[in-house]
Amino acid sequence: MRTIAALCAILLGLIAMTDASAQAQPRPAPTSNVQVQPLTPPGAPAKATPRFDPLKATNAYLATVKGKARRNSDAYFEGGYWLLLVDTLYAIGVAALLLWFRISARMRDIAERWTRSRFWQVAFYVIMFVTLTTLLTFPLAVYEGFFREHAYGLSNMSFSQWLGDFLKGFGVELLFGAIVLTLIYAAIRAAGRRWWIWGWLIAMAFLVIGMVVGPVFIAPIFNKYYPLPEGPVKSEILSLARSNGIPVDNVYEFNASKQSKRISANVSGAFGTTRISMTDNLMKRASPREIYAVRGHEMGHYVLSHNAIGVTWFGIVLLIAFGSVNWGYGWLTGMFGGNWDVREIADPAGLPVAMALVTFFFLLATPVTNTITRTLEAQADIFGLNTARQPDGFATVTLKLGEYRKLDPSPLEEFVFYDHPSGRSRIFMAMRWKAQHLNDPDIKAGPVSPQ
Ligand SMILES: [Zn+2]
């Protein structure tokens, strides 16, 4: 069921605010926080020449990723724009198939034969529905999740490893899908015309439950989480955490290298389970300056309560989605319900209609959901710059994102498709910050931005 997967992806976008990736070779930064690097003259932000131009510095950084590397990342990311459309059309196609061939109606009839309880009929229907739609969308999932990732050199997984993760994901989806949808259908039967408000409340409750249990029960299904390994970087990171009111035992590392080469970190959880997790890729492949920069950013999410703010905004969008499904369902089944053998909204055989509507709604809402997360990400960027004070580390780690995120899009492209600020926006943010701090001793000590 692509829709539940899409909803999860959006939710994960909110709660797993990732950053940065592999490759790229710029500016090897000196180790640890002890900045003893002398100022190097060319283009250096020396006191005598306070003519540091943030835009020029941004362009110079962007120019360091060129040729094949740049073309690959642009192609990978732009391909993603089309996949949004392809995924939606494919999901609607699957829904149409289930409806016009009355497969959905037949699954409902089977469920009705198995039990007289309407509650359990829905549960059985949902299990059949999730299994069948997962099978039908499997070719697209293999292409997007396995072959395409390998084609761009982003995956570390063998096919059997990938399939293992896919099946685990399917199990989680089946369990949560069956519980949530069975309860929503119970609400439909109980509440009548106002079902969509109750349905939304149930969905929101599970969204929050999912966030709370996610890092404790779901994430460890896919990866190993452990305390940060001992090393020169660790104490610096923990001190930064303590100074921002983040308990040390909420800072983890996990083996993302099992899946891919991407460098990233995230904040997940809610209430008692909120935590920051760094990938092993980040800890191994980024310089200490870059690690501090990313850490500062993730601490921004934590300190600014972005999980709660993200869920609130997403909740508003989701309420509109439920309202739209309610309206669209009546309209579509009014026209085609006879052909599909699908009855009123309480009939589980109409689930493909609802799912197609949700999928289409979230395609249209892409710029809205992306702008919500992108805005929070920009806030975390600024928090990170003020906290970690590593404008150049932030710039170079942003360049490493260039492997899977186009660095320099048009403003319209960024508005529609970017769930994080683009590389250009982020590096400019860092250079703008640096321009105002040129005379601070730590910034003066370097490193020197390219000009
Ligand atoms: Zn983030």
- Calculate how far, in angstroms, residue 86's C-alpha sits from the geometric centre of ligand 1: 27
Least confidently predicted of 81-90, 190-199, 261-270: 261-270
Least confidently predicted of 7-16, 176-185, 224-233: 7-16
- Calculate how far, in angstroms, residue 9's C-alpha sits from the geometric centre of ligand 1: 15
> CA dist 337 to 138, 242, 243, 331, 362, Å?
28, 59, 60, 10, 24
Share of the chain above pLDDT 90, in %: 71
- Calculate how far, in angstroms, residue 376's C-alpha sits from the geometric centre of ligand 1: 8
Rounded Cα distance between 212 and 227, Å, is 19
Instruction: Specify which residues 275 forms β-bridges with.
Output: 268
pLDDT tens digits, residue range 92-134?
999 999 999 999 999 999 999 999 999 999 999 999 999 999 9
Indicate the pTM of the whole model.
0.84
- Calculate how far, in angstroms, residue 335's C-alpha sits from the geometric centre of ligand 1: 44
- Calculate how far, in angstroms, residue 128's C-alpha sits from the geometric centre of ligand 1: 37
Residue from 418, 405, 395, 289 nearest 58 by CA: 395
Whose tokens are 């249209």? That residue is 364
pLDDT of 8 above 60: no
pLDDT of 176 above 70: yes
- Calculate how far, in angstroms, residue 10's C-alpha sits from the geometric centre of ligand 1: 14
> CA dist 66 to 53, 271, 286, Å?
22, 43, 20
Q: What is the pLDDT of residue 4?
A: 45
Q: Which residues, at least 6 apart from 346, have a Cβ–Cβ distance to it below 8 Å? A: 185, 188, 189
Helix, strand, or coil here: 254?
A: strand
- Calculate how far, in angstroms, residue 428's C-alpha sits from the geometric centre of ligand 1: 17
- Calculate how far, in angstroms, residue 420's C-alpha sits from the geometric centre of ligand 1: 7
Q: In which band, very low, low, confident or very high, does the pLDDT at 230 lie, cut at 50, 70 and 90? A: confident
pLDDT of 184 above 60: yes
- Calculate how far, in angstroms, residue 380's C-alpha sits from the geometric centre of ligand 1: 6
- Calculate how far, in angstroms, residue 22's C-alpha sits from the geometric centre of ligand 1: 17
Q: In which band, very low, low, confident or very high, does the pLDDT at 34 lie, cut at 50, 70 and 90? A: very low
User: Do residues 383 and 401 touch, judged by C-beta distance below 8 A?
Assistant: no
CA angle 343, 345, 346 (to 5 degrees): 90
- Calculate how far, in angstroms, residue 425's C-alpha sits from the geometric centre of ligand 1: 14
- Calculate how far, in angstroms, residue 276's C-alpha sits from the geometric centre of ligand 1: 11
Whole-number CA gyration radius for the chain = 24
Question: What's the start-to-end Cα distance of the chain, in Å?
Answer: 49
